[in-house]
Structure 1
Amino acid sequence: MESRSMPLRCPELPGSNQHSPNPSSFPAGSEPAQRIVYSARQSDLQVRAAAKAIPSIPAHSDNPHMKTNTALAKMRAGKPAFGLSMGLGVAETGAILSGSGTEFVMVDRQHGNWDEREVGRAIAQINLGTATPMARAAANDYRLIGQLLDKGMLGIIVPMVDTPDDARRVADACLLPPLGRRSWGWNQASMYGDDYADCINDELFVAVQLESATAVDNAEAILATPGVTGCWMGPSDLALSLGFHPSEMDTRDEHRLALERVLAACRDTGKIPGIAGRGLEDARRRRLQGFQFITVTSDAALIAQGASAARSSLDNL
């Protein structure tokens, strides 16, 4: 005789007309599948209730789900965005820095001490505060850039971009078609909502790092690349490329003129000029020069300065 399996009836959820049995009423051993489904549904309700209690993140202007890149919005309005970089590889530092009121926090994958899992945790920590999570990629590499985006970065800075072809590779890796060639598929970035794919190309800050004499010569062509939002100058590497030690950059006219050429290229192409600062005073000076996207200092430098200041204050006891 043909064996027919009976359809499994799920317990009632709020708003459902289906009867919801009490698990204690199930005869022991008689309905294991029903017990499992009931437990799964109850767990789902608990997760949904917990999710409603989580504070909402800033909404995209046209959709209540996608996280707004507040640092980029500020720069598009002509204002500066000051940020802090993370190189120690400790995710929890992200929440502390993001809670300071800084506009963005940048995870440094080029020079920082990071592993892949900790990068993902760092983004979650940064999102506990108000800062926009960004990262400097280890290299101009499609896979490495894609991994940072899939984890939820809303800003990507790519080092050693010297030519328009280099810049095109950056844009291709960062942007979804038709603007780029980024692969469809993300994990942690899905926390930004179902409309992530519709909004991310507009919310993503794509910065090319100009840090060589060749890059300065090609600055306008590089910055004219579709999909590139702005640049981030590396003044120390630029000094080395120009033939002198970074400690001499403030007294060398060729260094100053190189920065001015890049600022002019940004104005001519409508792109956002950025630079790596060397502390508070340098960040202020760079802003007066016309830079908008400015990293002020790093997690390691802040700890070192705080420790030194604390110890020095004890000398007067």
Structure 2
Amino acid sequence: MEGNFVITNTAKQRMEQGKVALGAGCGLGVPFPAEMLASMGFDWVLIDNQHGTWDRYSSMLAFMAVRAGGSIPVARALVNRYDEIGRLLDEGALGIIVPMVDTVEQAEAAAFASRFPPAGGRSNGAGGASVYGPDYIDSFNDQAFVAIQLESKEAIENADDIMAVDGIDGCWLGPADLANSIGFARDSAEHDEAVMRMIEACQKHGKAPGIAAGSVEQVEKWAAAGCTFISAGSDKGYIALGGMAEFEALKHLRD
């Protein structure tokens, strides 16, 4: 982008080119792991306000840390609410993920809260986002990546209409909540079929399909199926997996 907007959303650019934008989640509530994940080369880092332990101040510091690490800061909102979405964008997120979107009306509300007029109704009051420069307001609608989460049977049934909503750039499917809703495990054929319905709806309307994958195998599987907005894991998960692997290798010393 030309002008004084000092950060280009490179993750969004990759998805617009049909390439995978690989992300990682951060929920521990402190900025340092966010900067570490960003510096590892992930295209985007998610500051998870739904299932993480962030408060308003720490999430703003985390967005700064992600930028310092060379990645794109993305926030998951606690709920689909105008003030919640606006304050995360004000604090510096360049992407927003809105959970539990089941209907067209809910998707329209998420888009309205995320975009400045005339595309939406976001209020002009950037705080941490002011670092992006004087052209922030004019450029934000192009730079922002607005995703919703389809996580229920109802959402999948409405996927085609939901993904047609203007102002929504993509979907980041929640596989665990979807499994609970449809009554089939994540490794079932029925679950895979539901995910494919999301992917097809996104592709039909020129939106980026995505998923919280959680393992190398799942990332590879869903990238091959057409997903471009994919998270590979999280700070909590990486600590757990690394710790368990090392303990397994060393536990003989306790015999």
Which has the greater radius of gyration? Answer: 1
- Identity, in percent, stands at 45
Distance, in Å, in 1 between the alignment partners of 2:199 and 2:69 is 31
Q: What does residue 112 of structure 2 align with?
A: 172
Contact 1:95 1:125 in 2 (8 A): yes
Q: What does residue 136 of structure 2 align with?
A: 196
Question: Are 2:189 and 1:249 equivalent residues in the alignment?
Answer: no
Q: What does residue 177 of structure 2 align with?
A: 237
Distance, in Å, in 1 between the alignment partners of 2:89 and 2:81 is 12
Q: What does residue 221 of structure 2 align with?
A: 285
Distance, in Å, in 2 between the alignment partners of 1:165 and 1:312 is 49
Q: What does residue 159 of structure 2 align with?
A: 219
Contact 1:173 1:180 in 2 (8 A): yes
Distance, in Å, in 2 between the alignment partners of 1:117 and 1:315 is 40
Contact 1:277 1:296 in 2 (8 A): yes
Distance, in Å, in 2 between the alignment partners of 1:205 and 1:298 is 20
Query: How many angstroms does 1:312 deviate by?
Result: 3.0
Among 186, 200, 203, the alignment partner of 1:267 is 203
Distance, in Å, in 2 between the alignment partners of 1:175 and 1:147 is 13
Return the letter of the residue paired with 2:44.
Answer: F
Contact 1:66 1:199 in 2 (8 A): no
Could you say what the CA RMSD is over the residues aligned between the two structures, in angstroms? Answer: 1.2
Q: How does 1:106-145 map to 2 (within 5 A)?
A: 106-145=46-85
Query: How many angstroms does 1:296 deviate by?
Result: 0.6
Query: How many angstroms does 1:188 deviate by?
Result: 0.8
- Please list every run of 5 or more consecutive structure 1 residues that lacks an aligned counterpart in the other structure: 1-60
Q: What does residue 147 of structure 2 align with?
A: 207
Distance, in Å, in 2 between the alignment partners of 1:204 and 1:249 is 30
Distance, in Å, in 2 between the alignment partners of 1:278 and 1:92 is 21
Relative contact order higher in (CA < 8 Å, ≥ 6 apart): 2
Contact 1:107 1:136 in 2 (8 A): yes
Q: What does residue 150 of structure 1 align with?
A: 90
Distance, in Å, in 1 between the alignment partners of 2:227 and 2:252 is 40
> TM-score scaled by structure 1?
0.78
